[in-house]
């Protein structure tokens, strides 16, 4: 299934939808000109959705929706609000 997403027909259509329908509008909304944070948010949501709804991986598929949504919301909020320069500086000072 995953391999079919990169097929000759489906790949370009899906890529166009993800870029133009999801990443670019989100990037504009959160003022992310390089679309790095927007891409990460979309990747996170797509991955969680596939694991939870398609593959029904536990505990994601059986998670309490309130707790699950709170964790995802907090994670997305951190990604959107994070200052890349500050994150980079913290990694350097911590020796990562």
Confidence at residue 75, expressed as pLDDT on a 0 to 100 scale: 94
> Does 5 have pLDDT greater than 70?
no
* High-pLDDT (> 70) share of the chain, %: 82
pLDDT (mean) for 58-74: 85
Confidence at residue 58, expressed as pLDDT on a 0 to 100 scale: 85
Quote the DSSP letter at residue 86. Answer: H
Confidence at residue 92, expressed as pLDDT on a 0 to 100 scale: 60
First to last CA, the chain: 36
Confidence at residue 91, expressed as pLDDT on a 0 to 100 scale: 62
Confidence at residue 68, expressed as pLDDT on a 0 to 100 scale: 85
> Does 18 have pLDDT greater than 70?
yes
CB atoms closer than 10 angstroms to residue 84 = 11
Q: Which residue has the higher pLDDT, 32 or 2?
A: 32
């Amino acid at each position: 299934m995953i391999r079919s997403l990169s097929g000759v027909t489906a790949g370009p259509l899906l890529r166009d939808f993800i870029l133009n329908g999801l990443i670019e509008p989100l990037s504009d909304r959160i003022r992310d000109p390089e679309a790095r944070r927007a891409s990460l948010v979309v990747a996170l949501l797509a991955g969680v959705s596939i694991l939870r709804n398609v593959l029904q991986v536990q505990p994601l598929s059986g998670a309490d929706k309130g707790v699950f949504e709170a964790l995802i919301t907090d994670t997305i909020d951190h990604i959107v609000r994070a200052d890349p320069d500050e994150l980079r500086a913290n990694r350097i000072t911590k020796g990562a």
